[in-house]
Amino acid sequence: MQMLKDDYIYTHGSGPTWQIKIATPLGAIDNYYAESQRAAELVWAQKQGKVYIMYSGGVDSEYTLKLFYSMGMPVVPVIIRLTPHYNDHDTQYAFRFCSSIGLEPLVIDIDFDHFVRSGQILDIARSAELDVYHYPAMLHVINQLDGTVICSTGEPAVRLDNGTWNVIFNQYDYTFFKYFQQHSIVGTPFFITYTPEMLFSFILDPRVTDLVNNRVPGKLGHQSSKFMIYNRHSKFNLVERPKYTGYEHIEKSGIFAHENIRAFDELKTSWGGKVQKEYHVFISELKEKIICVP
């Protein structure tokens, strides 16, 4: 299975040398929902066994789950519970949604304190060349699933920095591909931008263009606006919610001071790559090749 359609994103280097290249869509770009439906059909045609959707309770994974569910594609939502009760504030949305549609999730508990103290968190991070401590537990769970795994990551950050709106790509997101390859995991880490058409329809959505043209005073990034992009044509009526990592309570707990978490500060030197480009420059370099469907 292709982890990205036609491998349209290519990265190389690491840390300060990390770079990213993106192939431009060859045809017209429809709205984000229509492009999502096409991507879901592509993924479904390549699936092997059961289809698992990693479901944190955030708006990204809820959009993905609702999309496949609405298209009549049987999927299994996977909820990771970081015990003791570390991420209940995040997963509450996932449990509530699954209950509302009568969908039984697969719940996997991880004793997070043990996960850290045993060194497993670092072993996985080093294997994947990962510099953030938020992802190893999810990668650990993904590697236990037998079937096709879908993660709802992938969109670049669109953020205001010192008066300039930038498109930002972080190396840590792309480490998922390395881990999937290492462990022969079938699926996609990047469903949210599985195709180049999805990526560009997302960053050219009217809400994003309003943000980058300073028509929404007070907003510093796209994160709190994503539910509007996902709802625009789908009519899913996803509810606006706080943007959680799921690790807020961990960062206030004693385990956060453990040396195996503190070690991630050093990993950033080797694997903390970032590519940042001014939004209008990024779009102008590709705009001539892009045709948008009204």
Mean pLDDT for the stretch of residues 60-82 = 97
Does a structural domain hold residue 293?
Answer: no
Q: Which two tokens stand for residue 1?
A: 């299975």
pLDDT confidence bin for 243, thresholds 50/70/90: confident
In tens, the pLDDT along 267-282 reads 999 999 999 999 999 9
Residue 285 pLDDT grade (very low, low, confident, very high; cuts 50, 70, 90)? confident
Give domain status of residue 102, yes or no.
Answer: yes
pLDDT at 42: 98
Question: Would 289 be classed as within a structural domain?
Answer: no
- Residue 292: inside a domain: no
Listing from the earlier edge strand, what are the strands of the sheet with 157-161? 157-161, 164-170, 274-278
- pLDDT at residue 290, as a whole number: 53
Instruction: For residue 13, tell me if it sits in a domain.
Output: yes
Question: How much of the chain exceeds pLDDT 70, in percent?
Answer: 97
Read off the pLDDT band of 142 (50, 70, 90). very high
Contact yes or no for 195/136 (Cβ under 8 A): no
Distance of CA 168 to the CA centre of its chain: 14
Share of the chain above pLDDT 90, in %: 87
**Predicted pLDDT of residue 248:** 96
Q: How many domains does the chain have?
A: 1
CATH of the domain at 243: 3.40.50
Q: What is the pLDDT of residues 148-167, one digit of tens each?
A: 999 999 889 999 999 999 99
The answer to whether residue 143 sits within a structural domain is yes
Is residue 81 domain-resident? yes
Q: What backbone torsions phi and psi does residue 127 show, to the nearest 5 degrees?
A: -65, -40
Say which residue, 29 or 185, is predicted with more confidence. 185
Q: What is the 3-state secondary structure (H, E, C) of 33-74?
A: HHHHHHHHHHHHHHCCCCEEEECCCCHHHHHHHHHHHHCCCC
pLDDT confidence of residue 38: 97
Q: Is residue 74 part of a domain?
A: yes
Q: Are the beta carbons of 86 and 261 closer than 8 angstroms?
A: no
Amino acid (one-letter) located at 257: A
Domain that includes residue 200, residue range: 5-284
Please tell me the total number of residues recorded for the chain in this structure. 294
Sign of torsion, CA 165 208 13 285? Answer: negative
Please give the model's pTM, rounded to 2 decimal places: 0.94
CA dihedral 230, 65, 146, 170 (to 10 degrees): 20
pLDDT of residue 173 exceeding 60: yes
How far apart (Å, rounded) are the C-alpha atoms in residues 21 and 172? 16
Kindly tell me if the per-residue pLDDT of 287 is higher than 80: no
